[in-house]
A and B are shown apart, each in its own frame.
Chain A
Amino acid sequence: MAFVTYILLSTLLAGLRGAFQPELLGYTASTAFAIVIFEILGLKLGCYLLSISNESQLLDLVAYSGYKFVGIIISLTLSALFSGGEGSGGWAGWLVFAYTFFANAFFLVSSHNNT
């Protein structure tokens, strides 16, 4: 849900800025997918280096790495609302981003501490 929503929302914001192209959908999707795959590969590499055997946990890693899209969606929406559709910069955007960043980090650490 969040993955697809992120792609559609970023394209929608680009359209509100007047910079919409149909290629933007595929571009955003492939970029987000590549980031997720890169993150999972990094996690697997870390597990290999620390010799943690977690064969059955791969789907868990995929699921947990997708929760960040919720924070991305929230920060994109709120920053666009605060800045009036002019990009996602500005102090409000960075504030919301920092909050969702730390919330997601806390969520991931707490979840993985006690599984």
Chain B
Amino acid sequence: MAESLVSFLSTTFHSRRIVFQQLHLIRIAESAFQLSAFSSLLTCQDAATYLWAACSSPLASASSSSATTRFHCSTTTLTTSTSPSATASTKLWQSLSTASDPRSKWSESCFWRIRGIYERSNSSDGIPSWPNSTQAWTGVCGTKRQRFPISCDFAAEANVLQFNRYVNVSALKHYFNVSNAYVVNKLFLVLFPWRHKPWSRKQSVGPNGQEGWFLPPREDLNSPDMYIPGESR
């Protein structure tokens, strides 16, 4: 019974678990990136896509510095594998842009995605920037616009927008604003409601001295919440 329960749970939460285990994903992406950099630049795009998905997820900031250093390692691997004699990465970019190989299109888009990771991580999360050679590398091509975001995040964003349309999310967050003391007291109140005295909900005082909105469950025991009834709804 326990085995089937575990297998059920693992199949149910498989996708979510992959999204949330950042370090694991970054390791996978790193290995894929190195593999593709060594074999061919053609499949580099897939690796960059995975890596971008790993870095742009909200939990990536927790493991930001290690991810950045690892990513820097993989990009240097890319540099040395494609043009081993070049010391500066500018030569890599020139060789990529002037190559007549049809694969240069792929590598170019891959390059802009990498730059997008760099800019995004630098701007939003305060992730420490890359070393100087890499900064010079990105500084060469600072005029071109990046192509973002990648299509793998479109579905999630569309789902969020669809959810926002039907459910008032800010009103829903009010019901989940609970504390530990509230949960314990509320459970006791549901099971033993006989001696409870004031049942009226508290209201906050507005700026004019009038009664404003209802207080959240964290500050009012009589307020209804949705954490105790069920997080899933």
Contact = CB atoms under 8 A, between A and B. Distances in A.
Interface stretch (A41-49, A69-77, A81-89): A69-77
Interface residues of A, number: 34
Most chain B beta carbons < 10 A, residue from A1, A66, A100: A1
A54 to B, nearest CB: 13
Interface of A: 1-4, 11, 15, 20, 22, 25, 33, 36, 56, 59-60, 62-67, 69-71, 74, 100, 103-104, 106-107, 110-111, 113-115
Nearest to A3: B230
Interface residues of B, number: 31
Contacts of A62: 226, 229, 233
15 contacts: A1-B228, A4-B230, A11-B5, A59-B171, A62-B233, A63-B225, A63-B226, A66-B226, A66-B229, A67-B190, A69-B229, A103-B192, A103-B193, A110-B199, A115-B201
A107 B190 contact: yes
B170 to A, nearest CB: 11
B226 A59 contact: yes
Which 3 pairs from chain A and chain B are nearest by CB? A66-B229, A3-B230, A63-B224
A59 B172 contact: yes
Interface string B190-217: 1111101011110000000000000000
Contacts of B171: 56, 59
Contacts, number: 87
Contact of B229 (A20, A25, A63, A110): A63
Contacts of B228: 1-2, 66-67, 70
Contacts of A60: 224
B93 interface: no
Nearest to A99: B191
Interface in B1-49: 1, 4-5, 8
A7 B172 CA distance: 23
Given A1-B230, A114-B201, 5 more contacts: A3-B229, A3-B231, A56-B171, A63-B229, A114-B199
B230 A66 contact: yes
B190 A104 contact: yes
